[in-house]
């Protein structure tokens, strides 16, 4: 467990702002972090998935607070749950995963409506604003394999689309370093503890959120304004 991560868990709830006031608006006065992100090219290979019913996508990009916070503001996303992908159920707890020895990654399982947003479009947002995919076993201040960049496809079609999009980005040389994002098949997902859910929405003034995750949300608004919803879809407040 890193000092940064330990400190994040223990900061008092007095820094929290109530959910439902609009996180995008609430972050305007806290722009201390360097802005990041870009709008990457659309995927050349579109996901072939039925436009009926919900689908799931599981993505890991460092601390799950920020990744969840981004996708809770994406139109067509119905739920985004922070959790642990890979490893076993017995060791899928925050304290144990933080050791870096369980093979889990902090991840977010996204339930989405493919009639509104396709899997490849989720990947475009993920790579554009949610992480730096060139970092190996780390994101920002957090280090260890539990913070790796990874995609956990739920079927062969998702794996095919993910592989094709990574190859497309590599060929376009959109990054100065190789993409380190791994595609990990057949990995289980275990929801994280309740206090991790909706953390970015519930604690927009938390110093870690201000410094590391608020820029991701601003980048989403800047580069994908047509896909942004102002009020997040929260685990604690599911859509009606």
CATH number of residue 153's parent domain: 3.30.1060.10
Residue 209 lies in a domain: yes
Domain count, the chain: 1
pLDDT in tens, 76-112: 999 999 999 999 999 999 999 999 999 999 999 999 9
Asked about 201 being catalytic, the answer comes back as no
Residue 47 lies in a domain: no
Supply the pTM of this predicted model: 0.87
Residue 145 lies in a domain: yes
Nearest partner of 13 among 183, 179, 199, judged by Cα: 199
Among the listed residues 23, 24, 63, 110, the single catalytic one is 63
- Residue 113, classified by CB atoms within 10 Å of its CB into exposed (0-12), middle (13-18) or buried (19+), is middle
Inform me whether the pLDDT recorded for 240 exceeds 90: no
Residue 213 lies in a domain: yes
Residue 189 lies in a domain: yes
Residue 60 lies in a domain: yes
Q: String of b and e for 59-83 (b: at least 16 CB within 10 Å)?
A: bbbbbbbbbbbbbbbbebbebbbbb
Residue 24, domain extent = 3-40+52-226
Residue 232 lies in a domain: no
Return the pLDDT at 31. Answer: 38
Provide the pLDDT confidence category of residue 237 given band limits of 50, 70 and 90: confident
Residue length of the chain: 240
pLDDT in tens, 13-49: 333 333 333 445 444 443 334 456 999 999 999 999 9
Residue 237 lies in a domain: no
Provide the pLDDT confidence category of residue 51 given band limits of 50, 70 and 90: confident
């Amino acid at each position: 467990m890193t000092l940064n991560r330990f400190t994040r868990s223990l900061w008092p709830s007095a820094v929290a702002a109530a959910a439902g006031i609009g996180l995008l608006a609430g972050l305007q006065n806290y722009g201390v972090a360097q802005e990041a992100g870009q709008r990457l090219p659309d995927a050349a290979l579109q996901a072939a998935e039925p436009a009926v019913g919900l689908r799931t996508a599981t993505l890991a990009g460092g601390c799950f607070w920020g990744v969840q916070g981004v996708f809770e503001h994406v139109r067509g996303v119905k739920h985004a749950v922070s959790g642990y992908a890979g490893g076993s159920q017995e060791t899928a707890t925050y304290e144990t995963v933080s050791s870096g020895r369980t093979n889990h990654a902090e991840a977010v399982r996204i339930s989405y409506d493919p009639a509104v947003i396709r899997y490849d479009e989720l990947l475009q947002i993920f790579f554009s604003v949610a992480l730096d995919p060139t970092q190996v076993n780390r994101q920002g201040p957090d280090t260890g394999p539990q913070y790796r960049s990874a995609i956990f496809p739920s079927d062969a079609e998702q794996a095919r689309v993910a592989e094709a999009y990574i190859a497309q980005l590599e060929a376009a040389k959109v990054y100065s370093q190789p993409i380190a994002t791994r595609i990990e098949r057949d990995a289980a997902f275990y929801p994280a503890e309740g206090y991790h859910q909706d953390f970015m929405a519930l604690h927009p003034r938390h110093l870690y959120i201000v410094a590391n995750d608020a820029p991701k949300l601003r980048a989403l608004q800047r580069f994908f304004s047509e896909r942004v919803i102002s009020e997040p879809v929260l685990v604690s407040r599911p859509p009606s």
